[in-house]
Amino acid sequence: MEPILEVKDLSYIYSAGTPFEHKALDQISFRIHRGEFIGVIGHTGSGKSTLMQQLNGLLKPTAGTVLLDGRDIWSDKQLTRQARFRVGLVFQYPEYQLFEETVYKDIAFGPRNMGLDEGEVDRRVREAAGFVGLTEEQLQVSPFDLSGGQKRRVAIAGVIAMEPEVLILDEPTAGLDPLGRSEILGNINAYRRAKNATIMMVSHSMEDVARLTDRLLVLNGANLVMDAPPEQVFTRAEELVDMGLSIPQVTQVFLHLKKMGLDVDKVYTIDQAAEQMMRFKGGNAHA
């Protein structure tokens, strides 16, 4: 299968040629296929946010290429603009970008920039609002009257309304309470299922990425150090800790149980843990 996004030998240097020169990405290569859910983890300053901005053509690579459906997004102006719409990027704390008088108008900003007709804009706004669980009445209020979590969902809807094939989110749950977090993650999954979209999510929550993603990209000091499914990444716990990252709590507990001599498998999610415990209990009952 052809990858939807392909990154080849991508390097990016901030303030090149000045004393403040700083290498943010160093020769990074990877491929993303349609429908995948990719997690991106890495310590603060490892280049995650820079990488995200490369993928939709906001930053131009110092070296290397970004291919969208096999075509270099920087090869012509029209393609760069297309990439902005086909690869939707939700920044950190996206609620700070809201500006319109009503929620409806703010969500419509992206689709209007795409040059769609009013009917199509209306359909997309309502559909996007549905994905993030905004009600009809909420569409007509000022976004500044909403709560923090609701503002965040409006901002995410603003990107979803462009119906991007690849949706990239930079720490979408940062600073939200547990209920807000699980709602946002649920919204993202709803969009993914409905549109068979590709999702790429930067997160500091090992639990979230272990539970949701198919594949993890681990960045450390401007380099891509791991590119594997979560269960493989989390077997390298010591390396992760050295990079200032960690493994899910439940994995830690089960690693400890194993050390204590219990015959358990490696576990990455709560569901797996529950299954193991049931099996254990059942096994004991038979013995």
Partner 1 sequence: MLKDITLGQYFPGNSVIHRLDPRTKLIMVVVYIVALFMAQSWVGYGLMFLFLAWVVCISTIPPKAILRGLKPLVMILIFTAVLNLFFTREGTVLVDVWIITITTGGINRALMMMARILMLICGTFLLTYTTSPIALTDGLESLLGPLKALKVPVHELTMMMCIALRFIPTLIEETDKIMSAQKARGADFENGSLIQRAKALIPILVPLFISAFRRADELATAMECRCYQGGEGRTKMKLLRYRRPDFAAFGCGAALVCAVAVLRCFGL
CB of 190 to partner 1, least distance (A): 21
Which SS3 state, helix, strand or coil, does residue 136 take?
A: helix
Question: In the structure encoding, which two tokens stand for residue 72, read together?
Answer: 């270099």
| CA-based radius of gyration for the chain | 21
In this complex, which beta carbon is closest to partner 1, that of residue 46 or of residue 54?
A: 54
In this complex, which beta carbon is closest to partner 1, that of residue 112 or of residue 204?
A: 112
Instruction: With beta carbons less than 8 A apart as the criterion, state whether 201 and 38 touch.
Output: yes
CB of 53 to partner 1, least distance (A): 7
Restricting to residues 141-180, name those near partner 1 by CB under 8 A.
144, 158-159, 162
- Regarding 56 and contact with partner 1 (CB under 8 A), the answer is yes
Q: How many residues bind partner 1 (CB under 8 A)?
A: 24
Distance CA 162, CA 169 (A): 14
Distance CA 89, CA 48 (A): 13
Give the contact letters, 94-133, x = binds to partner 1 (CB under 8 A), - = no.
Answer: x-xxxx---------xx--xx-------------------
CB of 96 to partner 1, least distance (A): 6
In this complex, which beta carbon is closest to partner 1, that of residue 91 or of residue 254?
A: 91
In this complex, which beta carbon is closest to partner 1, that of residue 176 or of residue 264?
A: 176
Distance CA 92, CA 94 (A): 5
Instruction: Tell me which residue of 211, 203, 172 sits closest to 188, measured CA to CA.
Output: 172
**75: left (phi > 0), else alpha (psi -120 to 50), else beta?**
alpha
Instruction: Tell me which residue of 171, 163, 93 sits closest to 131, measured CA to CA.
Output: 163
Tell me which of 11, 53, 223, 269 binds partner 1, using CB under 8 A: 53
- Regarding 13 and contact with partner 1 (CB under 8 A), the answer is no
* Region from 33-41, 51-59, 183-191, 205-213 binding partner 1, contact rule CB under 8 A: 51-59
Query: What number of other Cβ atoms are within 10 A of residue 176's Cβ?
Result: 16
Tell me which of 37, 91, 254, 268 binds partner 1, using CB under 8 A: 91
Restricting to residues 191-250, name those near partner 1 by CB under 8 A.
none
b/e code 36-48 from CB counts within 10 Å (16+ = b): bbbbbbbeeebbb
Binding residues for partner 1 (CB under 8 A) = 15, 53, 56, 58, 81, 84-85, 88-91, 94, 96-99, 109-110, 113-114, 144, 158-159, 162
